[in-house]
Structure 1
Amino acid sequence: MIKVIMNGCNGHMGHVISDLIFDDDDMEIVAGIDISGEGDCSYPVYTDIFNCKVNADVMIDFSSYKATNRVLEYCGQRKLPLVLCTTGLTEEQLNLVSKMSRETAILHSANMSLGINVLFKLIQDAAKVLAPAGFDMEIVEKHHRLKKDAPSGTAIALADHLNQALDKQYHYCFDRSQRHEERDSKEIGISSVRGGTIAGDHDVIFAGTDEVITICHQASSKGVFGKGALEAARYLANKPAGLYDMSDVIAG
């Protein structure tokens, strides 16, 4: 039985993961962390992460980037593997993630969906063929109105995977409103839409002369991220210190 500490247990994703683990025969949540208090959780909840002394095999974190430094410190001190699902991390925090992965196993991904992580591979294969043939590349991401960061971490990750496939020759364009010039052939455009209850849509557009290829991923609910997080936690438990991502989970 894999014992899990859920950080951000009273948030929407905390509830999603709690429900998924409740129906899982191989995992259980032994404690939760949330500044808002106990809520309606069936397990003990701590408002201060450092007050949680419960033994566990892995922590799943779906909280806020504002809490990430303390989460990393806590897991580093306890050598507790961490599935870090929080988005919007600063460059300084990403460097801290890398540093703390020397102390414990950390799996960090911009998107926990298994489908999105397969998409990363598909778009790289497409880019290697289409970009040299003169196709322009654009990314459009759509999320619910409550999402605070833009563009999404997944959109940046998609752009990074395209760029990596093309020897990092491209730069990113987030806003053309003040530009009055033709599109640079070496740019990847990234656009954001916020509205309603969109769980998460990402379109990668390859626009060529007289033809357009669009590869898209649509999340119908946040459950897909929860399922991915559980697979990540299952993979990461008992792993040695190091920095992992969802490609490791998919590869097995």
Structure 2
Amino acid sequence: MIRVALSGARGRMGGLIMEEIARADDMELVAAFDVVGIGSPVRDGIFLSDPRRMGEELRETRSDVLIDFTVASAAVENAVAAATEGVALVIGTTGLSKEQLSRMQEAIEDHVPAVISPNFSVGVNIFWKLVEQAAAALKDYDAEVVEAHHNKKRDAPSGTALKAVEILKKETGIENVSFGREGIDPRGREIGVHAVRAGDIVGDHLVLFAGPGERIEIRHQAHSRSAFASGAVRAARWVVGARPGVHSMAEVLDV
């Protein structure tokens, strides 16, 4: 039985992940953390713990893996605490700066296995693969990335969109990225990125390639956050027993 700890248990994703764990025959929730409602019951006799006691709680509950869906600053501290205790990691928190990601990776490397991804949806990982293939074949086409999310999402552009941008840069050799546009300057050799925040949109991502007389659109639309939750639990199952170091969701899915 895989013993799972969850950080961000009171968040949108936290509840869905707990439901996925409850349905799994090979997993059990042994610890839950959040800054809101510390000490309150979560489910099955589990009470919310203070994230500041994470290392101690992970040790006492003999957790095998920590799933983290929090905010960037908290995720770094949580990753360091888990790595120190030898607990595997699944990190879905987005908005990490280069410095934060570097500190997280330093704590993980050669110590524990971790899957870090801006999106755990199976479909999104196939979406990235299709973008990679299209970009390699359409290097001279204009490329634009458009993403839309609910009006409570804090970071923009989304981590999923930024991953698509990195793929485009690698495959096309284009380094210049334009985040939104205004004014009268003509489009240059660049990748355009646009973020929409409105209503309760779960997550839409579009990569558009436009050339002479035609365009190709690759789109992923999430209808429910359950797609992200099931992917995160799948990653947790995979990462326990994996070699130490940072892994991608593509490795989990073998794509």
Q: Using the TM superposition, name which of 25-34 and 63-72 deviates more.
A: 63-72
Is the counterpart of residue 126 in structure 1 residue 130 in structure 2?
no
User: What is aligned with 1:41?
Assistant: 42
SS of residue paired to 1:198? coil
Q: How does 1:70-219 map to 2 (within 5 A)?
A: 70-102=77-109, 103-131=111-139, 134-166=140-172, 168-177=173-182, 179-185=183-189, 187-219=190-222
Q: Using the TM superposition, name which of 9-18 and 39-48 deviates more.
A: 39-48
Q: Using the TM superposition, name which of 75-84 and 39-48 deviates more.
A: 39-48
Shift of 1:16: 0.4
Is the counterpart of residue 17 in structure 1 residue 20 in structure 2?
no
Give the whole-Å Cα distance in 2 for the aligned partners of 1:56 and 1:98: 20
TM-score computed with the length of structure 1 as normaliser: 0.94
Give the whole-Å Cα distance in 2 for the aligned partners of 1:12 and 1:159: 26
* Deviation beyond 6 Å, 4+ runs, structure 1: none
Same amino acid, percent of matched pairs: 36
Give the whole-Å Cα distance in 2 for the aligned partners of 1:59 and 1:136: 41
SS of residue paired to 1:141? strand
* Preserved contact between residue 4 and residue 59 of structure 1 (Cα < 8 Å): yes
CA RMSD of aligned residues (A): 1.4
* Preserved contact between residue 210 and residue 216 of structure 2 (Cα < 8 Å): yes
Q: Using the TM superposition, name which of 202-211 and 43-52 deviates more.
A: 43-52
* Paired positions, count: 247
Give the whole-Å Cα distance in 2 for the aligned partners of 1:38 and 1:15: 16
SS of residue paired to 1:183? coil
Equivalent position amino acid for 1:233 in 2: A
Give the whole-Å Cα distance in 2 for the aligned partners of 1:75 and 1:15: 21
Give the whole-Å Cα distance in 2 for the aligned partners of 1:197 and 1:216: 18
* Preserved contact between residue 30 and residue 44 of structure 1 (Cα < 8 Å): no
SS of residue paired to 2:42? coil
Shift of 1:99: 0.8
SS of residue paired to 1:229? helix
Which residue, out of 224, 229, 247, partners 1:244? Answer: 247
SS of residue paired to 1:44? strand
Q: Please give the per-residue CA displacement for 1:186-212, whole angstroms capped at 9, x wherever unaligned.
A: x11000000110000000001112211
Give the whole-Å Cα distance in 1 for the aligned partners of 2:39 and 2:120: 26
Give the whole-Å Cα distance in 2 for the aligned partners of 1:51 and 1:118: 38
* Preserved contact between residue 3 and residue 27 of structure 1 (Cα < 8 Å): yes
Give the whole-Å Cα distance in 1 for the aligned partners of 2:55 and 2:101: 22
Q: Please give the per-residue CA displacement for 1:2-49, whole angstroms capped at 9, x wherever unaligned.
A: 110001111111100001111111111111011112444112321132
